Amino acid sequence: MGDPKKQRKKYETPRFRWRKDILQEELRLLGQYGLRNKHELWRHKTTLSKTRSIARSLIGKAPEERAKMENELLTKLKKISILHETAVLDNILDLSIEDLLERRLQTIVFRKGLARTIYQSRQLITHGHVAIGNRRVTIPGYMVSKEEENQITYSPKSAIAKETHPLRQGLSVEAKQPEISQPSRGRRGGKGGGRF
């Protein structure tokens, strides 16, 4: 055990980080899901990779030996609605990174129509305007379970909870389709005027 204050890396970087196709795919996902940086994307990719490796190791074991671990893994993924109710162990190998990113709080707030853009949904969450049930959640990457999905609303203490708030004018409560945009790569000029 180390010092509890010591931060440890929770992700693995891609093996071929500078390949053009990998860079373009990462930028597409960053823009589509409103991620702050590639570390967030890599964290979800690492989670998916570890889950799939556990599934591969369980497939190789005898049926009586793997029954308990298989049930635990499937229950965990069904709880956060990554897998459907009738899924089996082989379905875990078919998962993609988009399946995980769709279950983030930021994405679900945008899909429910509580924000105009995916970036605005991130801002609303980090500023404490979104609640799950009666509990405020300020983590955009929070994985929402199936039961919690229907409880996502504006926080009662937030000014946005009022129907007359300017942000709520023109917002529809129906699900929105993802917008494909790419994040800006930085600013030219600015206060320091330094070179990039």
Domains in the chain, ordered, with CATH?
20-100 (no CATH), 105-168 (3.10.290.10)
- Confidence at 77, pLDDT banded by 50, 70, 90: very high
> In the predicted model, what is the mean pLDDT of residues 168-184?
54
pLDDT at residue 194 above 50? no
Tokens of 118: 């995916």
- More confidently predicted of 164 and 33: 33
Q: What is the pLDDT of residues 94-110, one digit of tens each?
A: 999 999 999 999 999 99
Q: What pLDDT is attached to residue 20? A: 95
> In the predicted model, what is the mean pLDDT of residues 8-29?
92
- Confidence at 5, pLDDT banded by 50, 70, 90: confident
CA distance 46 to 13: 9
Per-residue three-class SS string for the chain: CCCCCCCCCCCCCCCCCCCHHHHHHHHHHHHHHCCCCHHHHHHHHHHHHHHHHHHHHHHCCCHHHHHHHHHHHHHHHHHCCCCCCCCCHHHHCCCCHHHHHCCEHHHHHHHCCCCCCHHHHHHHHHCCCEEECCEECCCCCCECCHHHHCCEEECCCCHHHCCCCHHHCCCCCCCCCCCCCCCCCCCCCCCCCCCC
Q: What pLDDT is attached to residue 172? A: 59
Q: What is the pLDDT of residues 145-160, one digit of tens each?
A: 999 999 999 999 999 9
